[in-house]
Amino acid sequence: MIKYNNMELMITIAARQLEDGAVVLVGTGVPCAAAMLAQLTSSPNLTIMFEAGGIAPLLQTMPISVGDSRTTYKAIKATTMAEIMELCQAGIVDYCFLGGAQIDRYGNLNSTVIGDYKKPKTRFPGSGGANDLASLCWRTMVVTPQNKKRFVNKIDFVTTPGYLEGGNSREKVGLPKNTGPYKVITDIGVYGYHPETKQMMLLSLHPGATIDNVKDNTEFEMIIPDKYETTKEPTEEELTILREKVDPNKVIIGRS
């Protein structure tokens, strides 16, 4: 039996979502690791972009920031954040990865404050480009550990729009049609969104995880369909490439 940790599992699953020929806008850490793994396995023609301006670099090692010089190594173009956002607005970007301190049933994200905005318990960095990316890219993916502090009934601040209040509320406020949250990948399962209500729903349960794990680590009521898949475990090839080529120093994946 192949041994792997939760981070390796989540990165591997995220990489599998990125089909060959797609364009993905990533940040550092897990999103970058997933994109690099996808390029080195099933999606050699994946185009990677960085918010600070790097377009289609040849990533030799993991960059430490979106402005790291490695994000423009042999790139097609080293441009500006403004142009990257323009490309998102033009519909060029298929996927973006985002995170946050809280996520609700409709995929809205909070990366601003915990508690009251004026007198918060905790203040976070805020949006950065997250609001723009989730508003304009076709599909938004989130990779995060799952617990009740993160998967909440109501987020304390809407930093990044998901499906807002569900249904067609996203389109009603003027955001582009057919854009928005796509999948949430956690250490318990993979989740998508109901096509009509836009509420989060279970798609795949990881090996060893149970429906009780899903419920015990989610504050809101997750949709559990009658049929769902069991996540395929990382292969030996995927893990070898992830450990030896993508993150040999184990900065992201940690030490198993």
- Report all structural domains of the chain as residue ranges with CATH numbers, in order of start: 1-93+233-256 (3.40.1080.10), 96-225 (3.40.1080.10)
Among candidate residues 8, 19, 51, 171, the one labeled active-site is: 51
pLDDT in tens, 76-124: 999 999 999 999 999 999 999 998 999 999 999 999 999 999 999 999 9
Q: What is the pLDDT of residue 233?
A: 96
Mean pLDDT of all residues in 31-54: 96
CB 113 within 8 A of CB 157: yes
Q: What is the pTM of this model?
A: 0.95
Reported as a pLDDT band with limits 50, 70 and 90, residue 1 is: low
219 is catalytic: no
What contacts 215, CB < 8 A, 6 or more positions away? 222
Burial environment of residue 249 by CB neighbours within 10 A (0 to 12, 13 to 18, 19 or more): exposed
CB 17 within 8 A of CB 47: no
pLDDT in tens, 180-236: 999 999 999 999 999 999 999 999 999 999 999 999 999 999 999 999 999 999 999
